[in-house]
Structure 1
Amino acid sequence: MFQKIIFVIHQIGSGADGGIQSISELLFNTPRLEKLVITNIATPASARWEAHGEVALWNMTEAAHAQSRRGPGYRLGQIGRRLANNWRMARLVRRQGVRVVHCNDHRAFWNTALGAKLAGANVILNVRDTMRPGARFHFMWRLALRICDLFLVLSREMVDSWIETLKPLSLKERQRAKFAFLYSIVDMARFHPVPPETRRRLRQELGIGESEIAIAYVGRIEAKKAQLPFIREALEPIVERVPNVHVHFVGDFLPDRDAYSAACERAVAESGCGRAVSFAGYTARSADWYRACDVLVLASEREGLPRCVIEGLACGAPVVSFDVCSVREILEGHECGRAVNQGDYGNLVTAIAALCDNPGERARLAGRGPEVATRLFDAGRNGDLYADLVTRLSWGADDVFRH
């Protein structure tokens, strides 16, 4: 008998979205669960979900990527819509007899969790990021912790980070027991290394020169991903130390209507390194970029478990990253990449340049990454762990899931 579950997934409408990719892999790899997916917009992702369960569109008044809806009218509309959606969820849970509702982020949570609880369901709050430094509204997250039955994150470091963020409430035994983690799933049929001759062909197709040292920085162009300070602080020193280098920014890039993208474009021009930089924009060929690059770089402001890092490892990309959440746990804990203290651009440049100058070390990391990814992010294993979690939670087990 299949275990019923409702997934509530708020989408922001961007092409590159690691969170949507992560929850999609969970939907695809849990055949023991009977799924109903509630989401806010029709996208290529939601179209793929339909092969694994029913998909329903609900209106959620929530600001999306590159939008700024913060006026009184927006707030009133948001409150009204959240109340309506929670009442709708309560009726749906009662009608369907569902025992577990999975809310994929805080927007999905506030639109449906209260209604789900009112109707007697257990609620999973799946958090895929860490709190922005200096962010407000910690009280809302503490309230969310009180309401949910499981606060599910993506790594051990994330558990520690959120417990620290939500103190003192998170230190109470009942609330602390709600924290658990499950590594994301990587589709190894899509993300895997290729033979040298295939890699050479991919480099040609992507416009990478034969003698070029290609650095890939994968992620939509936005403040959180911190491409702008990377351009201002690291680009020129990298070009000086690695003369044949070229930096490829791969991800949503809209300089004509997005101020951050435009600022990145201006910063490259002002650096005088324009010939060594390309903005590839959003592409469905992220796996090919991972395979084709010589070094994969991430200098984000914050992350949960960076999707580009784990997919890059699976494809054999040597990784250098700031030590945003989960990076040291994966890269240093499994000796498969380089982690640099957050914001230390000097050492970031040094680590990148050292790897660019050392083809032997790049080859070692290229072999190590897929081994680690296969062990940690396997679809069958992590899908079964999640299905077990849902089954135990639905029957009220005290020790639901502790990794």
Structure 2
Amino acid sequence: MTRLVHLTTADISLELLLGPQLSAFREAGYEVIGVSAPGPFVERIEARGVRFVPLRHATRSMALGRDARALAELRDLFRELRPDVVHTHNPKTGVYGRLAARAAGVPVVLNTVHGLYAQPGDALPRRAAVYGLERAASTCSQAELVQNPEDLATLRDVLHVPPRKLVLLGNGVDLERFGRDDGSDAVRAEVRAELGIPERAVVVGAVGRLVLEKGYAELLAAWSDVVARHPEAVLVVVGPQEADKADAVPAELLDRARADGVRFLGMRDDVERLYRALDVYVLASHREGFPRSAMEAAASGLAVVATDIRGCRQVVEPGLTGELVPVRSAPALAAAIAGLVVDGGRRRAYGLAGAELARRRFDQRAVIRTTLSTYERLLGAAGLEPPRGTAGLGPPGGAAA
């Protein structure tokens, strides 16, 4: 059986970012192994029939010594597992994972670029460091699956990654889980009752880790202005606190937000239900690759307000499915949210158009098919026979650069 390893920094990524894909790859005939730091999602990963192997030295924080040890640990692990394919994800594991796989002699190595960790407007030292590492790591792969067309252009034209290696992957979500259905109104009433939110309230939501890079400082500042003018509005925030991160949202900021009536729900497994209770979705991030939460919200029939950055521009069509606002601008964010709070007709029109856009562009089955076809092509080039169980996975998606 063809052995496929997916590598991420943390087990949360294996399950929440890649879980349905790992299941699909297993159904297609691959032996699928997930490698990451261990955590609370291991049981769910293994329930998919995916073998989990812990990476002891993996960390999301800046720790060059541990990263070097993780590289050596991975090289030894790949030599032991002898995978046919190693597929890496996330900025750090994407770099040292490709290096380790090539050092271990893995026949097929590829990486998904979920979002370059530097953008053209960043300071030169940051761009030089990130781009230099990405360029070096890309020499160890046969393919780079790029979610965002803006990143693909940067990889090709700035980093000079050979175009033959670049595949435009796009991104997608489970449209059966997040698409609106006939029971949405009942779920909406049920969730609002659970949260103690009146049916007449206009509910704005945000989903994401509580870190400043997600734009929470601007969102909470904007919300103070919105709720002062529109006390019928409610803001609900879903996502875990990240106290160990350097840019964790300060406790005093969260306390002031709670005083403004903001509901912080923490980590939830039922976000598809929570979207049903919302009227507007907000993503105020400073940096994104191709944001899943915004795709989920659009598929759920919500108007979306997002920052005008790479990734959000691929999800929101301003004036059609939502609004784009300047990054780090609380006044612009407040104006966009307030405009939708008072205009139910525009909210509904944006939501209908967003759901249609999601059906056309954000189907995860297209991502799965593009990935499987890339595996097949690269295994064939390496003289290896890929499994053939790809029936029923939907239409192909993606395109070579």
Q: Return the alpha-carbon distance in structure 1 between the equivalents of residues 329 and 169 of structure 2.
A: 29
Deviations 1:70-115 (A, max 9, x none): 4xxxx3343234123213313432xx5x1x2101223333454234
> Which SS does the other structure have where 1:129 is aligned?
coil
Partner of 2:400: 402
Partner of 2:391: none
Map residues 289-328 of structure 1 onto 2, 5 A cutoff: 289-328=274-313
The yes-or-no answer on 1:124 pairing with 2:107 is: no
Deviations 1:188-219 (A, max 9, x none): 23212243233222211222222221111111
Partner of 2:147: 154
Which residue identity is paired with 1:327? Answer: C
Counterpart pick for 1:88 among 77, 81, 85: 77
Deviations 1:6-65 (A, max 9, x none): 22222165xxx6x7523212112332240332323444543333354441323342323x
Q: Return the alpha-carbon distance in structure 2 between the equivalents of residues 286 and 161 of structure 1.
A: 33
Partner of 1:180: 167
The yes-or-no answer on 1:363 pairing with 2:348 is: yes
Residues 209 and 242 in structure 2, CA contact (< 8 A), matched pair in contact too = no
Partner of 2:324: 339
The yes-or-no answer on 1:29 pairing with 2:17 is: no
Structure 2: runs of 5 or more not aligned: 383-397
Residues 1:355 and 1:242: Cα distance change in structure 2 (over 3 Å): same
Q: Return the alpha-carbon distance in structure 1 between the equivalents of residues 327 and 142 of structure 2.
A: 33
Partner of 1:63: 59
Residues 1:357 and 1:176: Cα distance change in structure 2 (over 3 Å): same
Residues 1:49 and 1:62: Cα distance change in structure 2 (over 3 Å): closer
Greater Cα shift, 332-341 or 32-41: 332-341
Quote the offset at 1:310 in angstroms.
0.6
Partner of 1:245: 233
RMSD over aligned Cα atoms? 2.9
Residues 86 and 106 in structure 2, CA contact (< 8 A), matched pair in contact too = no
Q: Return the alpha-carbon distance in structure 2 between the equivalents of residues 267 and 380 of structure 1.
A: 40
> Which SS does the other structure have where 1:279 is aligned?
strand
Q: Return the alpha-carbon distance in structure 1 between the equivalents of residues 242 and 69 of structure 2.
A: 32
- TM-score, normalised with respect to structure 1: 0.82
> Which SS does the other structure have where 2:51 is aligned?
strand
> Which SS does the other structure have where 1:148 is aligned?
coil
Quote the offset at 1:162 in angstroms.
4.5
Residues 8 and 101 in structure 1, CA contact (< 8 A), matched pair in contact too = yes
- Runs ≥4 residues deviating over 6 A: none
Which residue identity is paired with 2:139? Answer: R
- TM-score, normalised with respect to structure 2: 0.83
Quote the offset at 1:159 in angstroms.
1.8
Counterpart pick for 1:388 among 336, 352, 373: 373
Quote the offset at 1:337 in angstroms.
2.0
Q: How many residues are aligned here?
A: 375
